[in-house]
Structure 1
């Protein structure tokens, strides 16, 4: 069996990297940009940092901002119509996972119109053509959607999220500029950062993990555990470390998948609109505990990457405990809650069923029963 790695053709990293957007548009011969960004980023001038560069370069563009935090089928279909009307030939996606996921779905449907109903993109859709070229500019350090072949759309009518996996949706260029992340409030920084840590740990322990992705995931865990606290305090070093760490995590998990944590987190977001990163963070120590006997020595390396000392002198149970404790400590330090008061006992069966049907679940190293998943949901219910 061959192991596949899909990455951007080009990526830029570091303060001021957004200046390269103009060069990329010109060198690729694009004539007009469809700028996809969420309303708050437009309102508070974050999107304007990029559009100012386009204005200066006299590159025409049109802004599309009908994008919700958990983007919906309607956001995508409206975006497809807006793109067709715009006359654009590329997408500049500015924002977190929401803007980039919406852009990926729009771009895929434009070049593969047989999937215009959106729901047909769920799972590994047999699209034939690469999506409209996307230049992805993250404003959060978490989803790594700028370097992944995944995107997630919310089906409001059915109260569920569905994951789409398609190498054809990969942005051709990623521009990872930590200065674009400086305006993130503490809570969002913490949540997206813990999402990135979840990507790295789940990707490192998933069934399909192998040597190259292990390299990415362990370095991502190291960078995130050392820089997230500083990023929450908006230090330059923290922002830079998290911008790189979350991207490296994306280089890994996009190519090997995730697990039960993300499956349950998607379900929480679909039913209660829970912020994705918060949901991932609440479930991370719970899912690590659930999987601990199926991870071999991998939690030793997780503990080491998180800065735990003396792991080589620990027993297997001790280093597994240490890894889980380190995750709990980081999560607490950045202010992630441990419970959610929206969950009701009568919802648990549906939540568990949806989680087990999520596209991320098959990568989990341990099979789970519905009863076990219900118990994990119950662990974050407010007492």
Structure 2
């Protein structure tokens, strides 16, 4: 029987940020430690959050040095700052990196074990400090997942860490926080969400609950991702993308992801490609590789995305899905590794190690078609071309 895990409190909709103090009060929390990044601090977004808390008489302390792909050293610095005060929760405010950082800080504040012992397949289910997630991008779904990613800077490995200890207790999902985000970020996080939904639906660990969330996410994201990239001020499309990201996060947290994510993490670790962008690079090729093993499931994805009707055969529907994923990348200017500026010699040199790290993460084992190291290396090589 599948076990379904969700945040205890989810507040969704425009203006939901104003409900954060009430949600904290419901959980008897009053001394938050906020984790965010320099952009949130310098853009005035953090002041917006602090103003909401101040009106409720809550005075948090802040760590504003989060970086993309949080490292062991960064988390240790943040932990030192947290221990300077008495805190009962950690608020992750921003995109996936601040929320992932907040998760790791909250858990390690109570369980300071070696980082290597946290990574998959270890299940980190013991509770740490209470985690509160306030996303400002429509992408990672981290506000509803039991995963976090920590980069070991010594080995350049993105360590996937799994467990209920990383599942936020409170998620505040306010699409108004995404307004004004640049096109590149909107595109990358949107494709990230779409990848979550597709991989959750075709996962070997899918279940009826995750299926419903995944299909809902695809229905919300597919008609709106180009729309919101064309017009960043489109409130209706922003709301749909934010809700779609949440549903996709719930889906993959309860069904896991597959080969795309397994292969994506090493690209990010070695070449510092943003996570959503590396997913986008991989999604068409991995879908084409995987589809023969799960044609009916990928056909459902095509139908949910409005690419095929109920009368269309599986082969035709899946062909349209693969074509659409490639067209989406073209329309949203997703570069190849070569166009991104990665050195070809370094790329080819890293392929065997990237393949071994992908397999070791465990995610490819959930894929409908299991790829061996040689097949994964071939997919990496094909991306360059």
TM-score of the pair, normalised by structure 2: 0.94
Given the alignment of the two structures, is residue 139 of structure 1 paired with residue 142 of structure 2, yes or no?
Answer: no
**Which residue number corresponds to residue 330 of structure 1?**
328
**Matches for 1:229-308 after TM superposition, within 5 Å:** 229-232=226-229, 233-234=231-232, 235-308=234-307
Paired residues, what number? Answer: 378
**Which residue number corresponds to residue 205 of structure 2?**
208
- Cα distance in structure 1, aligned partners of 2:143 and 2:195: 17
Structure 1 vs Structure 2 CA RMSD: 1.5
**Matches for 1:40-59 after TM superposition, within 5 Å:** 40-59=39-58
Give the stretch that moved more between structures: 209-218 or 126-135: 126-135
The partner residue of 1:193 within 165, 190, 195 is: 190
Give the stretch that moved more between structures: 21-30 or 120-129: 120-129
Q: CA deviation at 1:15?
A: 0.7
Q: CA deviation at 1:238?
A: 1.1
What's the CA shift string for 1:207-254, capped at 9, x where partnerless?
111222111111111111011122222111111000000100111110
Give the stretch that moved more between structures: 17-26 or 122-131: 122-131
Residues 295, 318 of structure 2: 8 Å contact kept: no
> Structure 1 residues 310, 27: CA separation in 2 closer, same or farther (over 3 Å shift)?
closer
Q: CA deviation at 1:363?
A: 0.9
Residues 124, 162 of structure 2: 8 Å contact kept: no
- Cα distance in structure 2, aligned partners of 1:54 and 1:124: 38
Given the alignment of the two structures, is residue 317 of structure 1 paired with residue 315 of structure 2, yes or no?
Answer: yes
What's the CA shift string for 1:38-92, capped at 9, x where partnerless?
1111111112211111222221111112211111111111121111112221111
Residues 205, 366 of structure 2: 8 Å contact kept: yes
Q: CA deviation at 1:22?
A: 1.2
Segments of 5+ residues of structure 1 without an aligned counterpart are: none
- Corresponding residue SS for 2:284: helix
- Cα distance in structure 2, aligned partners of 1:164 and 1:6: 16
- Cα distance in structure 2, aligned partners of 1:126 and 1:92: 22
Residues 219, 245 of structure 1: 8 Å contact kept: yes
Segments of 5+ residues of structure 2 without an aligned counterpart are: none
TM-score of the pair, normalised by structure 1: 0.95
Given the alignment of the two structures, is residue 31 of structure 1 paired with residue 34 of structure 2, yes or no?
Answer: no
